[in-house]
Amino acid sequence: MESKSYTCDTKKEEKECVKPDTLFLYFSVITVQLLTVVSGSSMAWTSPVLGKLYSNDTDVNPLGRPITTIEVSMLAGVPLFTNTIGMLVMPKVSDIIGRKRHLFISGVVMLLAGIALGFSSGSVILMIITRCIFGTTGCLVVLTIYLVEICEDHNRGKFGCYTGIFNQIGHLFGFVIGPFFSVKDFSLIIISPVLIFVIFAMILPEPPVYLLKKGKEEECKNALRKLRSNKTEEEIETDMNKLKESLKKEQKGKIADLFKNKDNLVALILSFLPMLVKYFSGVTVIFTFLAPFFDQAGTSLSGDTVAIGIAIFKISFFTFTSFIVERFGRRKMLLISSTSTGIPLFLIGLYFYLQQINSTFLVNLQWLPLTSLLFTVALFGLGLGPIPMPLISELPRAELRAVSCSVVHAASNIVIFGITSLYPIISESLGYHWCVWWFSLNCFLGSILIYFFLPETKGKTFDEIQAILKG
């Protein structure tokens, strides 16, 4: 049967002749996302573990005593701060040794750090140190760059959302396993997906963009043939030429270059904006402390049970978003998500306020915490959860992509560190309601900033995005 040519001369024709994504592309995306699963499990680690560390039962609590509030703050917050170093340094390392090799080494380091965490569960200091080592690889930043560089314009948004989906799968994995195993066994089990990654990582290609940067044209063409195996040789050659044209405009980027001119600075700020709104919404922090957070609500359901149900709900909406993001656009979905997430958060804060003043009306509102959390998770999953990750790799110029992603992730990590560290202290001293109301306010303020400043990148080439940023 004669192969049909899909060469497109116009933008309209290009949209009409887009081919389905290949199985090998899906294989590559899902394989690297196993690292995201483990990272998500590590983030959720505190939720089931803290319940054990608060216990007076020495058979459950490996510390032999209840953990203090300051220790909780350090255990949850300090690793986020030290991970910032990895996020700033490691993407530049991946420019030297390659994205694939860097991700492989990251997997090995995460595996060893996870084993060390399991055997250090009797000491808070050792648990903090091993959790710090776990995240210093900067793998999520490099993974984001890897995905952008193996994808095409029409599927960047979809596969970019996969990072959010697999992160939530990691959360669910942690929430399901955590309540039924000791802290040691739980810490060892959640790193098991890394073993699968290490085995299959050998088959992964280096991104075509990276290979072309290194002057390896034949290897670049072979990578394109694998990732886009349903294309003809003529189409592969066309894709190759497009990459060459794009790379002609590139120079080696440094962090200082982000601040040298207005266009680069605007791209950096706009890359940071959706991440800032995402984390200041507080949903990520609430998930870190989800079991103790819901236990505080005083309903008949246990925090661990609720955590599992909400994680399943969250995965469903992250997945749904990946299917519709290319149709509705990043900006529109972020606006809907940010605005609407603030409403159920406000209601959760209201419940905790009524609880603090011992309102008699509280007996009629036992349904409110779970219902509001479900709506929070659903609306967060429609935009704020999955979409910021692909955006931070779309907005910078190609030569600044690695350093920009590093800076944005590092700055975001400092934000998470601050919020996560302060949350247990402030919620204990001022009350849960003030924390949640502040998160709600941030959602509304974030939607205003997104509306006025964030451009739409749906279906646009990197050159078109740069033209928009230049205004």
The pLDDT, as a whole number, for residue 451 is 94
Three-state secondary structure call for residue 190: coil
Q: Is residue 216 part of a domain?
A: no
The pLDDT, as a whole number, for residue 280 is 93
Q: Is residue 222 part of a domain?
A: no
The CATH number of residue 114's host domain is 1.20.1250.20
The pLDDT, as a whole number, for residue 121 is 81
Cα–Cα distances in angstroms (integers) from residue 398 to residues 87, 220, 331, in the given order: 18, 17, 21
Select from 169, 38, 50, 168 the least CA-distant residue to 423.
50
Name the domain count of the chain: 1
Report the alpha-carbon distance of residue 23 to residue 196 in Å, rounded: 18
Q: Are 114 and 462 in contact (CB under 8 A)?
A: no
Beta strands in 292-451 (DSSP E): none
Q: Is residue 379 part of a domain?
A: yes
Q: Is residue 151 part of a domain?
A: yes
Q: 46-53 and 290-297 are packed helices; what angle lies between their axes, rounded to 10 degrees?
A: 60
CA 441 to chain CA mean position, Å: 22
Instruction: Give the list of residues 6+ apart from residue 298 with CB closer than 8 angstroms, or none.
Output: 355
The pLDDT, as a whole number, for residue 94 is 84
Q: Is residue 225 part of a domain?
A: no
3-state helix, strand, coil in the chain (%, to 5): 80, 0, 20
Residue with tokens 């299959």: 200
What domain range includes position 144? 19-204+249-470
The pLDDT, as a whole number, for residue 242 is 84
Residue with tokens 């483990």: 38
pLDDT in tens, the chain (471 residues): 333 444 454 444 444 456 788 899 999 999 999 999 998 888 888 878 888 888 888 888 998 898 888 898 888 888 877 787 777 777 778 888 888 999 999 999 999 999 999 898 888 999 999 998 888 888 888 888 888 888 887 777 778 778 878 988 898 898 888 888 998 999 999 999 999 999 999 899 999 888 988 888 899 999 989 989 888 888 888 888 888 877 766 556 677 888 888 888 888 899 899 999 999 998 888 777 766 666 666 666 666 677 778 878 888 888 888 888 878 888 999 999 999 999 999 999 999 899 888 888 888 888 888 889 889 988 998 999 888 877 887 888 877 877 787 788 778 888 888 888 888 888 888 888 899 999 999 999 999 999 999 988 887 777 788 888 876
End-to-end alpha carbon distance in the chain? 48
Q: Is residue 88 part of a domain?
A: yes
DSSP symbols for 269-320: HHHHHHHHHHHHT-HHHHHHTHHHHHHHHT-SS-HHHHHHHHHHHHHHHHHH
Q: Is residue 242 part of a domain?
A: no
Q: Is residue 4 part of a domain?
A: no
354 phi, psi to nearest 5 deg: -65, -35
